[in-house]
Amino acid sequence: MNLKKHWYKWVASIFLLYVVLGGLFLPLKPGITAVSPVKLSSGNDISIKLNVYNAPWLRENTSAIESVSKDGKFQMPAKVILVSKGIQGRWESEKIDFSANHGQVIAKFDIKMGQADISNEYYSVFIELSNGKYLGLPDAIFLERSLGDTVGNSTIKMSSNENIAIEREKFEMSFPNRVVLNESVRNLFYHVPMWFAMLALLGIASWYALKYLRFSNLEDDIMADSLIRVGILAGILGCITGATWARVTWQSWWPAADPKLNGVAIGMTMYMAYLLLRSTMSDPYQRARITSVYSVFIFPIFIALIVIMPKLSPNSLHPGSGGTVGFNKYDLDSTMRLFFYPAVIGWIALFYWIANLRLRIAQLNEKQLNK
Amino acid sequence: MKTSVSEQFDANAAELLAHHNLMNAVYGVLAIIFIGILFYLVRLDRKISRLEKNQS
At A124 the pLDDT is 82
- The one-letter amino acid code at A331 reads D
The reply to whether A49 touches chain B by the CB within 8 Å rule is yes
Up-side HSE of residue A8: CA atoms within 13 Å toward CB? Answer: 13
At B16 the pLDDT is 53
Q: Is residue B7 part of a domain?
A: no
Task: Give the domain A31-158 fold.
Answer: Immunoglobulin-like (2.60.40)
The reply to whether A187 touches chain B by the CB within 8 Å rule is yes
The reply to whether B6 touches chain A by the CB within 8 Å rule is yes
Q: Is residue B49 part of a domain?
A: yes
A–B: how many Cβ contacts below 8 A? 86
pLDDT tens, residue by residue, A244-297: 998 888 878 888 778 888 899 999 999 999 999 999 998 989 999 999 999 999
Q: How far apart are CA A230 and CA A233, in angstroms?
A: 5
Residue A160 DSSP code: S
Model confidence at A10, pLDDT cuts 50, 70, 90, reads very high
Question: For chain A, where do the domains classified as CATH 2.60.40.10 start and end?
Answer: 31-158
pLDDT tens, residue by residue, A45-60: 888 888 888 776 665 5
At A1 the pLDDT is 60
- Mean pLDDT over all residues of chain A? 82
Q: Is residue B1 part of a domain?
A: no
Residues A260 and A306: beta-carbon distance below 8 Å:
yes
Q: How far apart are CA A318 and CA A341, in angstroms?
A: 18
Q: Which residues on A lie below 8 Å from B37 (Cβ)?
A: 233, 237, 350, 354
Residue A37 has pLDDT above 60, yes or no: yes
With CB atoms and an 8 Å threshold, state whether B51 touches A233. Answer: no
Q: Is residue B53 part of a domain?
A: yes
Strands A77-84 and A43-53: unpaired
By CA distance, what is A246's nearest residue in B? B25
The reply to whether B29 touches chain A by the CB within 8 Å rule is yes
Model confidence at A325, pLDDT cuts 50, 70, 90, reads very low
The reply to whether A230 touches chain B by the CB within 8 Å rule is yes
Q: Is residue B45 part of a domain?
A: yes
Q: How far apart are CA A354 and CA A258, in angstroms?
A: 31
Q: Is residue B36 part of a domain?
A: yes
Residue B6 has pLDDT above 50, yes or no: no
Residues A41 and A146: beta-carbon distance below 8 Å:
yes
How many domains does chain B divide into?
1
For Cα atoms A118, B9, A167, give the angle at the middle one, nearest 5 degrees: 60
Q: Is residue B3 part of a domain?
A: no
Considering the entire predicted model, what is its pTM? 0.80
Higher pLDDT, A144 or A206: A206
Q: Is residue B35 part of a domain?
A: yes
With CB atoms and an 8 Å threshold, state whether A241 touches B17. Answer: no
Domain that holds residue B32: 22-56
Model confidence at A358, pLDDT cuts 50, 70, 90, reads very high
